[in-house]
Amino acid sequence: MKRLLKWIFRVVLVLLILAFVFVFVGYWRSTNDCDRHTGAPTNPMKAIVYCDYGLANLKLADVEKPVPNDDQILVKVRAASVNPYDWHFVEGTPKIMRLMGVGLRKPKDTRLGVDFAGTVEAVGKNVTEFKPGDDVFGGRGGAFAEYVCRRAEGAVALKPANITFEQAASVNIAGITALQGLRDKGKVQPGQKVLINGASGGVGTFAVQIAKSFGADVTGVCSTRNVDLVRSLGVDHVIDYTKEDFTKSAQRYDVILDNVTNRSLLECRRVLTPKGKYVLIGGGGPNEQGLIGPLWSPIKTMLLSPFVSQEMGMMMADSNQKDLTILADMMQSGKVKPVIDRTYKLSEVPEAIRYVEQGHARGKVVITVE
C-alpha cells in the first residue's frame, strides 16, 4: 500500500511538472499578428486592435482592408454593437479562456467586436443571396472596423427598412440569445409564465419582447430606474430587484431566463413549476471572473439537473442566417424593436466597453462607424 501511494505521488508530481512546463512554454511562445506584421498596410482601413490584454491596450489602427473570397460579401460597416463578450476577450477572463486557446500571454486574435450592420460593397463570384448596395446585419469577428467580410451563407441577413443601422447592429448576439433561449431551451408556449432576470440589459430587452410575441405572460426583473423602460417593452409584471426578491415570491414560473445568475439554482428552482425550465444565459461582472468565474454556474446546473423534476441548463447562442431572418421579420412587423442605450464613435470603443463592463447597460450600446 505504501509503495502504491509512493508511485501515485510520483506520477502526480511528474504530471504536475509537465503541466507547469507546458503552460510556461506556451505562455512565453504566445504571440499574435502584432508581432508578425509590422509594415504599413497597402490598402488600409481603420479598426480597433489590441496587441495585449487590457482595455488600456485598445487602439484605433490602420489595418489591411479585407478582400472577399468567392463565397463572401464585403460589408462597409455603418454600426457595430458591444456585448459583455467583448470585455471577456479584452480582459482575457475568466483566465481559463486563455488556456483554452484565446491566447496565454497575448490575445491570439487582435481584432474585436462581433455584431455589425452595414451596406454590401462587393460580393464573391459564388454569392447569390446578396448584391452590392444591400443593407445587411449580422455577426463577424472584428466588427469594430470600417469593413468586414462575411460568408454569404453565414450569420448575415437583410436589414429591414424600418430599423436603423444602429438598431440592426444591436441584434446578432443579444437577439439570437434571447430567441434561442426562449424558443429552443425554454420552449415557451402561449399563456406560460416566463420570468426574465436582467430584463433591462441587451439580452433582456430582446427577451421581454420575444416572449411577449410568443404569447407568454412575462415578468421582468430590473432595478428601480429601469422599471418604466421594461414596462414600455410590454411586460405584464415588473419586479424591482432593489425592493423585492423574485425567488421569495409566491408566483411559480414555467420558464426562467437568467441573464444575471445572482440567485442560487435552488432559490430559482423554488419559483419554478414542477416541470418548469431554467435557462442559464450568463452573469458575473469583471470582478467575479478569476480562473473559472462564471463557468461554475453551468457546471452546477449540469450537476443539479438530473436530480430535479425541472429542466435546468445553460445555452450558448449560435448565430445563423435563419434566426437572424426570423428576428428581421419580427422587427419588420414591429413585434421587436431594439433598445439603444448609448452610441459611441469607433475611436471611443474603449469607453463603450468600459461602460458595458459596469453591468448596467439599458438595452444595447452601439458604435457608429462613419
The residue from 174, 179, 195, 255 that contacts ligand NAP (CB under 6 A) is: 174
Taking CB under 6 A as the rule, does residue 89 contact ligand NAP?
no
Nearer Cβ to ligand NAP (68/283): 283
Minimum CB–partner distance for residue 280 and ligand NAP (Å): 7
- Residue 144 vs 241, nearer CB to ligand NAP: 241
Q: Is 256 in the site for ligand NAP (CB under 6 A)?
A: no
C-alpha cell at 216: 407568454
- Measured CA to CA, the distance from residue 259 to residue 127 in angstroms comes to 37
State which residue has the least CB distance to ligand NAP. Answer: 201
Interaction of residue 227 with ligand NAP, rule CB under 6 A: no
Give the pairing of strands 272-280 and 311-314: parallel
Separation of alpha carbons 21 and 100, rounded Å: 16
Give residue 3's Cα distance to chain centre. 51
* Residue 282 vs 338, nearer CB to ligand NAP: 282
Residue ranges of alpha helices (H) inside the chain are 2-29, 33-36, 84-91, 96-97, 165-169, 172-180, 202-213, 227-232, 265-270, 296-304, 321-332, 349-357
Instruction: Please state, in angstroms and rounded to a whole number, the distance separating the CA atoms of residues 336 and 175.
Output: 9
Grid cell listed for 48: 480597433
Q: Whole-number minimum distance, CB 226 to ligand NAP, in Å?
A: 4
Burial category of 240 from C-beta neighbours within 10 Å (exposed 0-12, middle 13-18, buried 19 and up): middle
Q: Which is nearer to ligand NAP, 75 or 280 (CB)?
A: 280
Q: Can you tell me which of 102, 317, 331, 367 binds ligand NAP, judged by CB under 6 A?
A: 317
Decide: 223 and 201 in contact? Cβ < 8 Å. Answer: no
Tell me which residues in 176-195 interact with ligand NAP (CB under 6 A): 177
Determine, following the binding rule CB under 6 A, whether residue 313 of this chain makes contact with ligand NAP: no
# of chain residues touching ligand NAP (CB under 6 A): 32
Single residue of 81, 110, 226, 319 touching ligand NAP by CB under 6 A = 226
| Neighbour-count burial for 1-21, b at 16+ CB within 10 Å, e otherwise | eeeeeeeeeeeeeeeeeeeee
Q: Tell me if 359 contacts ligand NAP by CB under 6 A.
A: yes
- Provide the binding-site residues for ligand NAP, judged by CB under 6 A: 83-85, 173-174, 177, 197-198, 200-204, 221-223, 226, 241, 259-260, 262, 281-284, 315-317, 356, 359-361
